[in-house]
Amino acid sequence: MARDLISRYVWIVDTLSRYERLTREELNALWVKSHLSDGTPLPERTFHHYRRAIEENFHLDICCDSRGRYYIDSDTSRQGRAFTNWMLDSYTVSSALKDTHVPIERVEIEDVPSARQFLPQVLEAIRYCRKVVFTYAGFNRSRAERGIVFRPYLVKRYKQRWYMIGFKEKGEAIRTYALDRMTDMRIMRDYFDMPADFNPDDYFGNIVGVTTSLAPVKNVRLKATPTQAKYFRALPLHVSQQEEVHDSYSIFSYRLQLNYELVHEILGLGVAVKVLAPQELRVMVETELKETLKQYQQDK
Does 89 score more than 70 pLDDT? no
Q: Averaged over 245-254, what is the pLDDT?
A: 96
Q: How many CB atoms lie within 10 A of CB 122?
A: 25
First to last CA, the chain: 63
15 with 91, same domain: the answer is: yes
Strands 173-178 and 250-256: unpaired
Last residue of one domain, picked from the residues 145, 170, 203:
203
Q: What is the pLDDT, as a whole number, of residue 2?
A: 47
- Structural domain span for residue 227: 218-297
Query: Looking at residue 41, which CATH number applies to its domain?
Result: 1.10.10
* 209 lies in some domain: no
Does 79 score more than 70 pLDDT? no
Q: pLDDT (tens digit, 9 = 90+) per residue, 149-166?
A: 999 999 988 888 899 999
Strands 182-191 and 218-224: unpaired
90 with 122, same domain: the answer is: no
Last residue of one domain, picked from the residues 53, 73, 100:
100
* 107 lies in some domain: no
19 vs 35: CA distance, rounded Å:
18
Q: What is the pLDDT, as a whole number, of residue 1?
A: 42
* 269 lies in some domain: yes
139 with 86, same domain: the answer is: no
8 with 96, same domain: the answer is: yes
Q: Averaged over 77-92, what is the pLDDT?
A: 65
* 213 lies in some domain: no
92 with 169, same domain: the answer is: no
* 292 lies in some domain: yes
Residues 6+ apart with CB under 8 A from 159: 209
Does 25 score more than 90 pLDDT? yes
Q: What is the pLDDT, as a whole number, of residue 251?
A: 97
Q: What is the pLDDT, as a whole number, of residue 219?
A: 96
Q: What is the band of 202 on the pLDDT scale with cuts at 50, 70, 90?
A: confident
* 87 lies in some domain: yes
181 with 132, same domain: the answer is: yes
143 with 192, same domain: the answer is: yes
Query: Looking at residue 151, which CATH number applies to its domain?
Result: 2.30.30
* 109 lies in some domain: no
* 106 lies in some domain: no
How many structural domains comprise the chain?
3
Residues 6+ apart with CB under 8 A from 214: none
166 with 239, same domain: the answer is: no
